[in-house]
Amino acid sequence: MPALRRPSIPTALAATALLLGACTEGESGPAGAEGPADPPPRVAVMRVEPRRVVVTDELPGRVSALRTAEIRPQVSGIIQKVLFTEGSEVTADQPLFQIDPASLAADVEAAEAVLARAQADLLNAGLKHDRIQALSEARTASAAALGDATAAQAQGRANVAEATATLTRRKLELAHATVRSPIPGRIGQAITTEGGLASAGGTAALAVVQQLDRVYLDVRQPSIRREALEDMVASGRSEQVGTLAVDIATIAGKLYEFPGKVLFSDTTVDPGTGSLSLRLEVPNPYRQLLPGMYLRARVPSAVYPAALTVPQQAITRDASGKPQLTVLSPDNTATTRAVELGPLVERQYVILSGLSAGESVLVEGQDRAERGRPLLPVPYQPAPSPTEG
């Protein structure tokens, strides 16, 4: 059997070169051909459409009761009974305290006696007047006597009127021995209890009733905001905001379920702070809001009926710091455009000028947009807010 001959070194090198060439041609094609073109960059875009936007100012304020009544006695005496439960709801005209009525009842009886005596004196004066008048007509009584009888009768009528008024006053004092609530609301503690002295001229109240089914919230707003709003309304950019609801938030940021409304704005600017006082009325059916509580009110300061808004991240800045947007053209190329920004509302800027309704703007991927280079637009999907599930 003949021995096998090993290939020479030049022959092996040539075979290896042919094999490598075949592999290179299979991967990248024939020599001189270019690779496939890079795909267009993906960018997130959104179409801008007009919508109604309400701009609010979040202002701190304190709660106060709708009405507060300090229960004070109108007559003096010893308190016999406390007729309410402390911290409970009371109605208007509900009895709260009972003052000892004995002396007041005696005053009523005395006034009734005085009235009866005055009525008797009037009756006697009337009979005397009639008798003297008859004698005067018969020319047996002088004119002076008739005048005296007429005056006595008039005096009797005046005495009856005075006694009647005194009796009415005494009866009112007796009625005031039962101290009643002038308003409905929640009553606090009884400052004076049984056995205490109620004084009509005293400075201390017997108790305090506060009406809490609705409450006031007093906040302060910079006066410059009012001037800016008037200018916006005059220019047609904003609607009137006086009738809009006001959202209320607790100090922890939790939204209160019942919105309030603006009742009035003060006409005097605080010279120290340059602010105006606003009074809001807030429903409080469950008595969750108590006087003295600290709350925050989101007071509407402007209303744009057809605003164009873009997400905050869609705004970029040029070298001088001016805001700009990247707008997508119909051929899927991008152009940069300077815009005028309005307020930032819920992470969206109101665009005052530089953008038209129906245009598409780049929200993400502006750094991949080169002038004249086609882009691959995909719809922008906003991230859920922290309050959403």
pTM for the model stands at 0.71
If one looks up domain 51-63+213-379 in CATH, what number appears? 2.40.30.170
Question: What sign does the dihedral 105-106-108-112 (CA atoms) show?
Answer: positive
Q: Are 384 and 377 in contact (CB under 8 A)?
A: no
Per-residue confidence (pLDDT) for residue 231, from 0 to 100: 59
Higher pLDDT, 351 or 388: 351
Would you state the pLDDT for residue 232? 58
Pairing of strands 42-47, 376-379: parallel
pLDDT at 28: 45
Task: Judge whether residue 20 has pLDDT over 50.
Answer: no
- Give the model's pLDDT for residue 56: 87
pLDDT at 4 over 60: no
pLDDT, tens only, 362-380: 999 988 888 788 999 999 9
Class of the CATH domain delimited by 73-100+177-204? mainly beta
- Assess whether pLDDT exceeds 50 at residue 82: yes
Residue 313 structure tokens: 């991240």
Determine contact, residues 315/48, Cβ cutoff 8 Å: no
Q: Is the pLDDT of residue 31 over 90?
A: no
Least confident of 30-39, 215-224, 254-263, 303-312: 30-39
Q: How far apart are the first and last CA of the chain?
A: 86
Condensed to tens digits (0 to 9), the pLDDT of residues 258-271 reads 999 988 887 788 88
Q: Does the pLDDT value for residue 112 go beyond 70?
A: yes
| Calpha distance 113→151 (Å, rounded) | 23
Enumerate the domain spans of the chain.
51-63+213-379, 73-100+177-204, 102-175
What pLDDT shows up at residue 229?
A: 58
Mean pLDDT of the chain: 85
Average of per-residue pLDDT across 101-109: 96
Looking at per-residue pLDDT, the higher value among 63 and 38 belongs to 63
Q: State the pLDDT at residue 235.
A: 55
What confidence category does residue 18 fall into, taking pLDDT thresholds of 50, 70 and 90? very low
pLDDT of amino acid 234? 60
Q: Rounded to an integer, what distance in angstroms lies between the CA atom of residue 108 and that of residue 174?
A: 8
Q: Would you tell me the crossing angle of helices 143-175 and 102-137 to the nearest 10 degrees?
A: 160
Distances (CA, A) of 10 to 13, 18, 79: 5, 13, 130
Examine the pLDDT at 225 and tell me if it is beyond 80. Answer: no
More confident residue, 215 or 233: 215
* Residue 244 CA, distance from chain mean position: 10
CATH fold of 102-175, please?
Helix Hairpins (1.10.287)
